[in-house]
Amino acid sequence: MQSVLSGAAFETRKDRPRVITHNTKNNITHTNLEVLNTRQIFTKALCPALFAAMLFASSSVFAQVKIGTNPTTINAANNLEVEASTAGRKTSIDKTTGQVTIADGTQKFGRVFTSDGNGAGSWQAGVVFAGYATSQSVEQDNAGTIINIIPDFDPESAWNSATKEYTISEAGYYSISFSGINIFDDGYSNPVATGGFALQQSGETIQITEMTSLENRDMPVGSALVVKAAAGDKIKLISSTQFLAGPQTWTMKKAAMTISLMVKD
């Protein structure tokens, strides 16, 4: 079937209809639908390519975000940085591990991030020292043998192994706990004795903890207290034994001491 309409012919084929335009002047015939189909194929192929290119460009641009001071400079290892005007104070997120780093000037090794009553966060010291002691002979008659504490946690390197004492780094209120086990052997006529430990702050005894026991038996003791300390104060643990006639052999079997900063002064 064929019909004539304004110089154009409409043909019905088994597969699809076609609009055929015939230019009588130049004797040129082309199919509009086929041209349209070609454009559609080109568009369908081009659009995904353009979208992928835009997505890639967008990812490259927004892979890192910098806010605050030096907005055009960011560590290549970070996804996000928020930098304060004070030099060195910055919050960042590592792009590989996701680790958050908050450097606000209060950070130090071993500190805990906490907030005040208004929600403002800062790094607080918490435990500043922890140590232990193994078997050690101590003198009788309250000679005050210094306990040889071995540092187990000392982030500020404030323990002096030569003088066997801890130096307070900043003024504040500190919680100090200590414990240990002593044993004695009496070679005279005193099968019962009293002994334990004493805590000293800059040479002054501030706490004594003792117990009484028969000879050759463990004497476990311990104590905890809060002290106000100034920067530079020295904390040490010593033995404490009562005065008794005759020779005694005292042994400190185990001991431990922990120091925590509660509140800065």
pLDDT tens figures, 91-116: 999 888 988 999 888 777 767 887 87
Taking alpha carbons only, the member of 110, 123, 121 closest to residue 258 is: 110
Per-residue confidence (pLDDT) for residue 143, from 0 to 100 = 77
Per-residue confidence (pLDDT) for residue 36, from 0 to 100 = 47
Confidence of residue 38 (pLDDT cuts 50, 70, 90): low
Q: Is 8 helix (H, G, I), strand (E, B) or coil?
A: strand
Per-residue confidence (pLDDT) for residue 48, from 0 to 100 = 62
Judge if 136 and 199 occupy the same domain: yes
**Cα separation, 72 vs 53, whole angstroms:** 24
Q: What angle do CA 40, 41, 44 make, to 5 degrees?
A: 85
**Cα separation, 104 vs 177, whole angstroms:** 30
Average pLDDT, integer, range 85-89: 87
Per-residue confidence (pLDDT) for residue 4, from 0 to 100 = 40
Taking alpha carbons only, the member of 41, 22, 44 closest to residue 31 is: 22
Judge if 155 and 41 occupy the same domain: no
Judge if 70 and 101 occupy the same domain: yes
Judge if 87 and 6 occupy the same domain: no
Judge if 258 and 165 occupy the same domain: yes
Residue 137 φ/ψ region, left for φ over 0, alpha for ψ in the -120 to 50 degree band, beta for the rest: beta
Q: Which of 45-49, 71-75, 150-154 has the least mean pLDDT?
A: 45-49
Judge if 13 and 118 occupy the same domain: no
Does residue 166 surpass a pLDDT of 70?
yes
Question: What letter does residue 209 receive in the DSSP assignment?
Answer: E
**Cα separation, 58 vs 138, whole angstroms:** 72
Judge if 101 and 142 occupy the same domain: no
Judge if 146 and 239 occupy the same domain: yes
Higher pLDDT, 22 or 109: 109
CB 72 within 8 A of CB 64: no
**Cα separation, 21 vs 6, whole angstroms:** 10
**Cα separation, 74 vs 32, whole angstroms:** 55
Confidence of residue 46 (pLDDT cuts 50, 70, 90): low
Tokens representing 265 are 């002064």
Confidence of residue 9 (pLDDT cuts 50, 70, 90): very low
The domain boundary residue, chosen from 36, 62, 88: 62
Does residue 43 surpass a pLDDT of 60?
no
Confidence of residue 2 (pLDDT cuts 50, 70, 90): very low
Higher pLDDT, 264 or 109: 264
Judge if 93 and 165 occupy the same domain: no
Tokens representing 63 are 């892979």
Judge if 111 and 95 occupy the same domain: yes
Residues 6+ apart with CB under 8 A from 138: 145, 147, 182, 239, 241, 250, 251, 252
The whole-chain average pLDDT of the chain stands at 81
Average pLDDT, integer, range 67-86: 89
**Cα separation, 171 vs 134, whole angstroms:** 30
Does residue 27 surpass a pLDDT of 70?
no
Judge if 106 and 206 occupy the same domain: no
Amino acid at 208: I
Q: How many CB atoms lie within 10 A of CB 178?
A: 26
User: In percent, how much of the chain has pLDDT > 90?
Assistant: 42
Residues 6+ apart with CB under 8 A from 7: 21, 22, 24
Structural domain of residue 39, as residue ranges? 2-62
The domain boundary residue, chosen from 62, 78, 98: 62
Q: What is the pTM of this model?
A: 0.63
Higher pLDDT, 4 or 253: 253
> Which CATH number goes with the domain that contains 259?
2.60.120.40
Per-residue confidence (pLDDT) for residue 39, from 0 to 100 = 54
**Cα separation, 107 vs 260, whole angstroms:** 16
Per-residue confidence (pLDDT) for residue 44, from 0 to 100 = 58
The domain boundary residue, chosen from 62, 84, 112: 62
Taking alpha carbons only, the member of 17, 16, 247, 26 closest to residue 137 is: 247
**Cα separation, 104 vs 145, whole angstroms:** 43
Taking alpha carbons only, the member of 222, 208, 236 closest to residue 147 is: 236
Confidence of residue 139 (pLDDT cuts 50, 70, 90): confident
Does residue 3 surpass a pLDDT of 50?
no
Judge if 83 and 186 occupy the same domain: no
Number of compact structural domains in the chain: 3
